[in-house]
């Protein structure tokens, strides 16, 4: 690492005006900065889960188990479509972080404006696709007839929010690349609180049921997108948005696609595998469907620390890779793995101990609570495997290796999960065996991710020694 690059990133961080970023990730101790970066991301995740839980609680307790099952049945479909496009925000994060690491203001400026312009355009396309294929996909996963109209109505309204959802996520990705994780937290808190208030108004006061929950989510997404856009317009930071410069720069879009599409395809492949699992869940009836919806929502709380440090891994790796400080990437990986796994396991212990009480928040149905307790035991006790998989994959993405994580994850998780469903689950068709497919396949992906990381680092050390 030469003095010119070190001076460049320090100047980019410290100067006033449009040369300012929020955190220097390439100099100084890492542990404190990783924690400072990750805590707002964790709080954002907790808030998001609480707001999602509010949706589910309002539906489950005031509309009924059928409505709760309808929201749950919609989940794999929204994930299938949304994750493909959301993966592009990973590309925006990597591009922006590497530009900051190189202290390349022009590259950062073009990345920001391409990200914002493309998010709105792609969001409109996503809305149309989602609305057109929602009902066929619900039929494909064998959604029960009494659930189908509710789930279709929920999805139709939900997909209207896609332009706003992509705009917010692309904007938040740019802010995180510069080390700013506090403002996305503030905007999420405001939009989420609005979502809860609208939920209660639409469901309790106007008796809109599932439609009310979907409409509240859509309106709150547009509020969040509006706030992050205004912030980027008003800021004096390096990621300032200038309307006259809004354009889709072909070279940036291609690189964004190169980094982001593999992440999106990976997420979509997961969703396709999960559609098969959802179809199997649906075969057990509405009680198991409702239990799965509640259990996944609770289990998400175990994953917030893991997800926060996985997100930190992309930004910190991107900046240090751009600055040529490869040894710091090893430290980023080690710290994110240690802290993320530790916090994830601590949260899982709490969830397992209090699972009956937590599930009773979502539903009063004793059968649903019992199914949910069994599901939670399986997924929560193995939650740490998400960390050993996601952190190495995200470090590799931060270094620009985006295709291998996608291929490895699809082969290790998606293909093997499908094989599990058609072999082991067919032989022993129980809820327990079905959900065991998650930790087994993720564990296989973790091994592959770590092996590839050490292979990449060996190549980088050889380049440095040459």
The predicted-structure confidence for 14-26, as pLDDT tens digits, reads as follows: 443 344 556 788 8
Reply yes or no on whether the pLDDT at 114 is more than 70: yes
Nearest to 417 by CA among 277, 263, 296, 289: 277
Whether 367 has a pLDDT exceeding 70, the answer reads: yes
Tokens read off for 73: 């049945």
Mean pLDDT for all residues in the chain: 83
- Name the residue ranges covered by the structural domains of the chain: 30-465
pLDDT, tens digit, 9 for 90 and up, residues 137-152: 888 777 778 888 888 8
Average pLDDT estimate for 197-222: 87
Q: Which residue has the tokens 């980094």?
A: 259
In tens, the pLDDT along 402-427 reads 888 888 888 887 788 888 988 999 89
Helix (H, G, I), strand (E, B) or coil at 255: helix
Q: How many C-beta neighbours within 10 Å does residue 194 have? A: 16
Taking only the tens place, the pLDDT of each residue in 60-72 is 776 766 777 777 7
3-state secondary structure of 421: helix
Look at residues 434, 435, 409 and name the one whose alpha carbon lies nearest to residue 422.
434
Measured CA to CA, the distance from residue 307 to residue 386 in angstroms comes to 8
Instruction: Supply the angle between the helices 326-353 and 384-398 in degrees, to the nearest 10.
Output: 160
Outline where 159-285 has alpha helix (H).
162-177, 182-200, 210-234, 250-282
Please spell the DSSP secondary structure of 11-66, one letter per residue. HHHHSSGGGB-S---SSS-SHHHHHHHHHHHHHHHHHHHHHHHHHHHHHHHHT-HH
| Banded pLDDT at 58 (limits 50, 70, 90) | confident
Between 234 and 57, the higher pLDDT residue: 234
Torsion angle of C-alpha atoms 424, 427, 428, 432, degrees rounded to 10: 20
d(CA 358, CA 58): 15
Measuring CA to CA, which residue among 217, 164, 227 is closest to residue 190?
A: 227
372-409 residue pLDDT tens: 898 889 888 888 898 999 999 999 988 888 888 888 88
What SS3 state is found at 284?
coil
Closest CA to 113 of 101, 99, 124, 127: 99
Which tokens go with 209? 């049921």
């Amino acid at each position: 690492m030469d003095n010119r690059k070190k001076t460049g990133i320090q100047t980019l961080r410290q100067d006033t005006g449009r040369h300012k970023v929020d955190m220097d990730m390439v100099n100084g101790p890492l542990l404190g900065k990783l924690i400072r970066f990750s805590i707002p991301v964790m709080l954002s995740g907790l808030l998001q889960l609480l707001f999602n839980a509010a949706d589910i609680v309002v539906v489950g307790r005031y509309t009924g188990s059928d409505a709760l099952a309808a929201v749950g049945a919609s989940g794999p479909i929204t994930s299938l479509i949304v994750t493909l496009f959301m993966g592009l925000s990973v590309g925006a994060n990597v591009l922006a972080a590497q530009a900051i690491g190189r202290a390349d203001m022009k590259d950062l400026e073009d990345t920001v404006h391409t990200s914002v312009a493309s998010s709105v355009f792609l969001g409109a396309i996503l809305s149309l696709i989602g609305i057109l294929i929602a009902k066929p996909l619900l039929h494909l996963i064998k959604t029960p007839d009494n659930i189908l109209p509710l789930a279709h109505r929920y999805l139709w309204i939900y997909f209207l929010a896609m332009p706003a959802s992509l705009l917010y996520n692309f904007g938040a990705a740019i802010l995180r690349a510069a080390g700013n994780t506090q403002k996305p937290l503030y905007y999420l808190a405001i939009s989420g609180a609005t979502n809860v208030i609208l939920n209660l108004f639409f469901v309790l006061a106007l008796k809109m049921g599932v439609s009310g929950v979907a409409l509240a989510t859509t309106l709150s997404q547009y509020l969040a997108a509006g706030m992050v856009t205004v912030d980027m317009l008003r800021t004096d930071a390096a990621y300032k948005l200038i309307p006259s410069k809004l354009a889709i720069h072909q070279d940036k879009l291609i690189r964004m696609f190169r980094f982001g599409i593999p992440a999106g395809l990976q997420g979509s492949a997961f969703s396709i595998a999960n559609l098969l699992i959802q179809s199997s869940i649906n075969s057990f009836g509405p009680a198991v469907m409702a239990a799965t919806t509640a259990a996944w929502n609770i289990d998400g709380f175990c994953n917030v620390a893991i997800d926060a440090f996985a997100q930190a891994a992309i930004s910190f790796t991107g900046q240090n890779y751009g600055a040529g400080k490869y040894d710091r990437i090893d430290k980023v990986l080690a710290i994110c793995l240690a802290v993320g796994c530790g916090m994830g396991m601590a949260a899982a212990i709490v969830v397992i101990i209090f699972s009956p009480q937590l599930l009773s928040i979502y539903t009063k149905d004793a059968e649903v609570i019992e199914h949910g307790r069994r599901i939670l035991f399986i997924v929560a006790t193995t939650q740490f495997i998400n960390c050993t998989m996601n952190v190495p994959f995200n470090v590799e993405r931060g270094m620009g290796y985006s295709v291998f994580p996608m291929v490895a994850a699809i082969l290790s998780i998606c293909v093997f999960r499908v094989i599990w469903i058609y072999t082991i689950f067919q032989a022993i068709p129980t809820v327990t065996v079905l959900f065991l497919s998650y930790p087994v396949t993720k564990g296989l992906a973790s091994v592959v991710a770590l092996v590839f990381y050490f292979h990449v680092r060996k190549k980088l050390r050889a380049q440095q020694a040459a």
